[in-house]
Each structure stands twice: as structure tokens, then as C-alpha cells.
């Protein structure tokens, strides 16, 4: 039996639009055929597809990528229509339905919306549907963007607890130096996703259609690894690349995750890209969190930054300002400022009530020291 039962496939803009010439229907059909074959073997597939802006540029006859938010949003809206039509048509040829899922950062930042998104994806997979996920470019702004669909694909992998994330690109994989400048550059065939050298190997994006380069793919692999998801970065031009990778064939760069899955709530916390605020801890609190598997108490907090509500994600910083943990806070920022540095027994007297004796309960907290 195949060891990969849940897979996320991410396809980049340059690849899917043949370098900006418009949707490459022949390639889309080939990828859809491979995913359909895997789906019929009982493997769950979620597709994260870039290309809406690139396709919109082509449809609108624009010579360059727009720069303003409104123009990008309008272009994405036009391109999304072509993207969805292409996938639905190709999957229907194999008796499969697809479903469009558009996500924003807010959908995965809010715990309730995160759980709703996860439930929707799981239900679609149970129905045998292939979800096609994209960032909701038509409503997102620069302040709330994922930044690229590589990051989104890793978060989706966390969301469904995928075994494998396949990132298809126009490159063969990750090299130890830029192969365009160094003819002796070597392909990294296998590595630990958390190896700090990988980000040094990866260079900036050389493309003009998408937002992600090799660095974002390496970062996505590291993010996916938090929930035990392995990542492969490979060329989408290789014949039957998806089915071959699922079969375990050595193609591209295989970035191995550590063993085991984080609990679902902690996956969400680990993948959280933006925190609503910060709690500055003293050395004693840092030691207790790291070594005693304990909750965060008010007495160990020296400062509060930002404005946040109960239940939002906040970062926990050590005295040097380095994030060592993050979690769901039990009190809003204004009340946190009143109780920090004080014993928990004084909370009722200070606030007039006590919701929890801890600022962050241990089950709602994740350490970031191994990132």
C-alpha cells in the first residue's frame, strides 16, 4: 500500500501559464489525469493552484503585471474564471468533480474560520471531490496576503494533515547554487526540511508572474514539516511527475519532515503567520515554558504590546525579543496589562473576576524554539 494517503499539489504561475502565454490546457489536462488516477486509488488530493492573476493579464491583454491593489484584484477576478473552467473541464473528463476554495489570511488566522475551512476540505475529500485552492486575490490586500501560494500550500497541508506536499515549478528542484550562473551547481536530491543551509541555497525569484521564488518553497517545506508533511520540489514538465513522486520515484528535491504530527490546534498555532500582539517574558517564565511543559502565568510577563482580544494568537518573547512560543491568550490586552507580574490569586481582586489563572493554557501554547 502506498505510504502517501493525503497529498497537496501546488502548481506555480509560470508553469501553469507556460511562462505567461495563457493557460497551458495540455499540461493542466496531464496533471488532472495523474491526480484523477491517484484519487481512484483512494488517495486524497488537494490542489493549490496559482495562475489567476497571470491568466487575467493574458485575458485582458495587459503587457505588464499591474502594481496597484485594485488592478491586481480585478485581474485576479477575471483570471479566476478561466482557471476554474479549465480544471473543472479536465477533471470531468475522468468523472471527477472539482470545487473552488478561495482563502485569505484571515480565514486561517481565526480559529473558528480555520476549523470551518478544515471541515469543508475534509467533507469535499470524503465526497471524492478535488478541491482547487487559491488565495482570494480579489479581496486580499497587501497587509493580509499569504505572500505566495507556496506558503498557502504548506498551510493547507497543515490543515488536512497531509503526508506529502508536491510543489511543481519550472525548475528541476533546489540546487546548492544558482544553476543559471554556476554550471557545476548540484541538485539537492534529499535533505532535512529544517536544515538551515537550504535557505542559503535558495535564491530570489527570477520570474515576473508569481510572487514566490525558491526561498518561499524552502520556507513552505519547513512550515509543512511542522505537521509531519514531507515536501518535494520538482519540475512540472516531467512526464507523469505527480504519480511518479507518489510512487516514491526520486525526482527533484525531497525535503524530509521530522517524525510525527502536531495536534491539530498546535498545527494551526505553528502556521500562524501574524500574531495579534506580544507578551514579553522574564527569564523564569522562559525557562518554565521550555523545560517544564507548563502554562504561562501572569507573574512571568513583564510587558504587553499590541491590542488583542481573548482567544487571539499572541507571540511570547524572551528578554532579548526572540519569539520562543505563541498561543491563545485568555485575557484581552487591556486586562493583561493590569495583571502581568502579579500572582494568579490576585486576578479576581484586580479585574473583578477570574476567567483562568493562566494567561495561556499549556494545551493552547506551542514552543517555537525548534523552528
Chunked into runs of 10 residues, the chain (371 residues) has average pLDDT values of 84 84 91 96 94 88 86 89 94 96 82 83 94 78 60 91 94 87 89 89 58 81 89 96 94 87 71 86 95 93 94 92 93 96 95 90 80 43
Count the domains in the chain. 2
Residues 263 and 279 grouped into a single domain:
no
315, 296, 305, 316: which is closest to 363 by C-alpha?
A: 296
Domain that holds residue 108: 6-267
Residues 31 and 120 grouped into a single domain:
yes
Is residue 1 in some structural domain?
Answer: no
Alpha helices in the chain (DSSP H): 13-16, 25-40, 52-60, 69-92, 105-109, 111-126, 149-160, 197-201, 214-225, 241-246, 264-270, 283-292, 333-339, 347-351
Q: Which of 234, 267, 300 is the last residue of a domain?
A: 267
Q: Give the pLDDT score at 1.
A: 39
Is residue 143 in some structural domain?
Answer: yes
Q: Give the pLDDT score at 50.
A: 86
Secondary element (H or E) of residue 328: strand 323-328
Q: How many CA atoms lie within 13 A of 103 on its CB side?
A: 32
Q: Give the pLDDT score at 261.
A: 64
Residues 239 and 336 grouped into a single domain:
no
CATH no. for residue 327?
2.30.130.10
Q: Which of 233, 267, 301 is the last residue of a domain?
A: 267
Q: What is the DSSP letter of 193?
A: T
Predicted TM-score of the model (pTM): 0.75
Q: Give the pLDDT score at 299.
A: 96
Q: Give the pLDDT score at 181.
A: 82
Is residue 347 in some structural domain?
Answer: yes
Q: Give the pLDDT score at 279.
A: 98
Q: Give the pLDDT score at 315.
A: 94
Q: Give the pLDDT score at 52.
A: 87
Residues 135 and 106 grouped into a single domain:
yes
CATH no. for residue 206?
3.40.1160.10
Phi then psi for residue 222, to 5 deg, are -65, -40
Q: Give the pLDDT score at 147.
A: 55
Amino acid at each position: 500500500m502506498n505510504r502517501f494517503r493525503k497529498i497537496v499539489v501546488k502548481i506555480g504561475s509560470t508553469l501553469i501559464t507556460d511562462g505567461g502565454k495563457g493557460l497551458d490546457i495540455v499540461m493542466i489536462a496531464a496533471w488532472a489525469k495523474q491526480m484523477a488516477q491517484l484519487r481512484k486509488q483512494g488517495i486524497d488530493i488537494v490542489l493549490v493552484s496559482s495562475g489567476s492573476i497571470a491568466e487575467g493579464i493574458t485575458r485582458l491583454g495587459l503587457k505588464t503585471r499591474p502594481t496597484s491593489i485594485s488592478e491586481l484584484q480585478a485581474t485576479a477576478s477575471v483570471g479566476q474564471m478561466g482557471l476554474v473552467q479549465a480544471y473543472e473541464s479536465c477533471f470531468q473528463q475522468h468523472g471527477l468533480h472539482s470545487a473552488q476554495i478561495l482563502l485569505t489570511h484571515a480565514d486561517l488566522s481565526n480559529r473558528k474560520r480555520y476549523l470551518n475551512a478544515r471541515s469543508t476540505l475534509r467533507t469535499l475529500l470524503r465526497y471524492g471531490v478535488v478541491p482547487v485552492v487559491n488565495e482570494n486575490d480579489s479581496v486580499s490586500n497587501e497587509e493580509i496576503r499569504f505572500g505566495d501560494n507556496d506558503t498557502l500550500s504548506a498551510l493547507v497541508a497543515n490543515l488536512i494533515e497531509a503526508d506529502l506536499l508536491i510543489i511543481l515549478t519550472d525548475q528541476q528542484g533546489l540546487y546548492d547554487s544558482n544553476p543559471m550562473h554556476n554550471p557545476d551547481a548540484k541538485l539537492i536530491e534529499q535533505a532535512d526540511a529544517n536544515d538551515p543551509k537550504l535557505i542559503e541555497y535558495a535564491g530570489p525569484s527570477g520570474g515576473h508572474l508569481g510572487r514566490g521564488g525558491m526561498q518561499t518553497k524552502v520556507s513552505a517545506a519547513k512550515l509543512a514539516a511542522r505537521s509531519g508533511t514531507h515536501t518535494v520540489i520538482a519540475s512540472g514538465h516531467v512526464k507523469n511527475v505527480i504519480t511518479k513522486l507518489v510512487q516514491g520515484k526520486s525526482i527533484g528535491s525531497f525535503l524530509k519532515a521530522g517524525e510525527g504530527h502536531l495536534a491539530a490546534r498546535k498545527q494551526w498555532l505553528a502556521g500562524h503567520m501574524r500574531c495579534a500582539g506580544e507578551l514579553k517574558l522574564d527569564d523564569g517564565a522562559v525557562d518554565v515554558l521550555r523545560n517544564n511543559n507548563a502554562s504561562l502565568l501572569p507573574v512571568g510577563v513583564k510587558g504587553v504590546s499590541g491590542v488583542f482580544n481573548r482567544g487571539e494568537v499572541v507571540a511570547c518573547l524572551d528578554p532579548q525579543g526572540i519569539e520562543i512560543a505563541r498561543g491563545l491568550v485568555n485575557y484581552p490586552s487591556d486586562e493583561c496589562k493590569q495583571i502581568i507580574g502579579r500572582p494568579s490569586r490576585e486576578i479576581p481582586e484586580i479585574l473583578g473576576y477570574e476567567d483562568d489563572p493562566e494567561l495561556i493554557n499549556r494545551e493552547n501554547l506551542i514552543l517555537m524554539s525548534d523552528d
